[in-house]
Amino acid sequence: MHDRALRFGLIVAAIAVLFSALAAVGTVPAQAEPDPARAPASISGTVTVPAGVDAGLVEVWAVAGEVYDLELSTMLKPDGSYELSGLPPASYRLQFTGRSGALDQWYNNAPHGSAAEVVTVTDSQQLTGINATLVKGGTISGTLAAPSWVTLTDTKVYDNGVSGGWPVAADGTYKIVGLRAGSHLLWFSGDGHAMARYYDNAPTAETATAIAVTDGQDVTGVNSTLRKGASISGTVTAPAGVTLTDTRVEVTVPGERGWTGHTTVAADGSYHIIGLAPGEYNVNFSVSGALGQWYSSATSWRTAKAISVAEGQDVTGIDAALVKAASISGTVTVPPGVEAGKVIISAYATGNPSASVGSTYLKADGSYSLNYLPAGSYKIEFATVYFTEFQDPDSGALVQWYKNADSFDDATPIVLGTGEDLTGVNATLVKGASISGSVKDPDAIGEHKTTVSLFASGTPGVALETAVINPSDPPYVFKGLRAGSYVVGFSDEKKRSTRLMRVAPAAAPLRVPPPRPNDLNDAGPDVTPAVTGAREPSGAEPTGAAEPSGAGTAEVIERDSGAVAGSNPDARTGEPPNRPYLPASWYALAPIRVAAAVVHRRLQRSPRAR
């Protein structure tokens, strides 16, 4: 007993001494341990350069990581040495490159980066002896001839085996170096007046003459002559208030993307596009404040009149008379719970509800303006649902047509005259209901995603909305819904395959009550079902969730990353509790059906903000 008391007293004393020491330490200001910066390293070596290679143009690159990010570069010194200093300690791939006449090479004698030998340096390490012996590449040289009015120094030569263009001297000579053995195609760009052409005077790569180059071979005498290009010119007139110098004229090949030639209109309305190859072209006129048009007075390239030009021909008189555009503007009142910045207003031609003529976003002050409209009859949609993978597409408002109509057919048409600016086309939006929840999967991996789809009850083959849920952001929400019954389906994207999750029959699907259209302060009811999941079906019979006030009954089923409303009659018969709600054929065509449904829902309503 005495020994136990003695030991207890010694322990108490030791603890007291320890606390006293800690207290004493606490009186001294604490100083954080410095985080020493990693000391830079260096890599150096010698590069052997063969005859015919300009050592002064050899570059040495240190490339970090698998993505080949350039960390540091340096030029070769006259004695062939180099040093890459100040490198963060890491692993690098070295490339010996530049337009020196040598073949590009990676360390250690590798033709491309993925085969390069990795060089690793640690803190303060001065790594030496990383040497290379370069190999001379092939060359192609020749002379480019042209009429006196062509500026040869504005012309470049391009080779399909080397990136970038090669300059042409004032006397027309050029030389391309560092070529690997193989077949090469040359393209002469022209200077604007002269036609761009492949060797030998071919309009396309398919008709070009290829040049064979062997290892280190110098191919000379590859000469060519530039020819005068055709031109298209004319005069543009515009209504008052339109600045002609803001007008752009482009020529395109019918049925092809992008323009072949372009220019701006001079102050007197004239334009001149030069250097065109023989063929057929469409001409487009675009300007701020006026309606764009195609020659001759066409609204699209499909109805444009094609212009045929021969080699060197100057086609004149391709004129255009621009017409002032009309516009529709107004103010939109937004209730609480609706994101004004996501409200989209769209105009549709009265006889064509399948595609918008123009769309715009609501401004912060509640105003909008649909510009660049031709004369005609239109129907206006407010809170257009615009599908995008990069943002939440819905503002939360119910889709509405002018005036307070629920559909395109019931909307009041607006007739616009030429150049008319119609104001006062206003709307008051109503917040729609929403369905939201989350997807929980304890076995989810980094690539695992779940697609949540919203279906109108009774029509599961048409998805009204879809949302992709990442493991890092499991919540989902469907907004701007009208009153009605809906079914929520879940598809599970695994690492190597994608499939729709099975959905139990929904005897009582989620019911969303209608918002009060005449009360802007009523934010509308939101239904939030809980969604849980596990990799393996539990086999347990679904349990009912509490009924939200005024929102109908929503029952939760716990299973493989999905839940829908309703009981499961098959659970009592030995069937898995997640028997498909949709027919098997629907799953096989799911991606096509979902894509088609989105198009069906959106009616191709891509906004084109003006």
Helix (H, G, I), strand (E, B) or coil at 243: coil
369-385 tens-digit pLDDT:
999 899 999 999 998 77
**Joined tokens for residue 91:** 């692993």
Nearest to 284 by CA among 312, 268, 311, 303: 303
Positive or negative torsion for Cα 593, 594, 599, 602? positive
Provide the pLDDT for residue 550: 30
Q: Is the pLDDT of residue 495 over 50?
A: no
Strands 270-276 and 261-264: unpaired
Question: Biggest alpha carbon distance in the chain?
Answer: 121
Which domains are delineated in the chain? 41-133 (2.60.40.10), 138-225 (2.60.40.1120), 230-321 (2.60.40.10), 326-428 (2.60.40.1120), 433-579 (no CATH)
- Provide, rounded to the nearest whole percent, the portion of the chain with pLDDT above 90: 43
Specify the range with the lowest mean pLDDT, choosing from 88-97, 411-420, 532-541, 594-603.
Answer: 532-541
Terminus-to-terminus CA distance in the chain, angstroms?
93
**Residue 205 structure tokens:** 């790569």
- Burial state string for 66-83 with b = 16 or more CB within 10 A and e = fewer than 16: eeeeebbebebeeebebe
Average pLDDT over residues 561-584: 30
**Paired tokens of 207:** 């008709």
| Residue 573: strand, helix, or coil | helix
Distance CA 440, CA 561 (A): 7
592 three-class SS: helix
Full-prediction pTM beyond 0.95?
Answer: no
Phi, psi at 581, each rounded to 5°: -80, -35
Which residues fall within 8 angstroms of residue 523, CB to CB, at 6 or more apart? 335, 336, 337, 431, 515
Alpha carbon distance 599, 588 (integer Å): 19
Residue for token digits 């020659």?
295
Burial (CB count within 10 angstroms: exposed 0-12, middle 13-18, buried 19+), residue 25: exposed
pLDDT band with cut points at 50, 70 and 90 for residue 263: very high
Strand partners, 276: 230
State pLDDT tens for residues 529-568.
433 332 222 233 323 332 223 332 232 222 232 233 332 3
- On average, the pLDDT of the chain sits at 75
Six-digit token string for 365: 């002050």
pLDDT digits (tens, 9 = 90+) for 34-76: 334 568 999 999 999 999 999 999 999 999 876 567 789 999 9
Greater model confidence, 425 or 564: 425
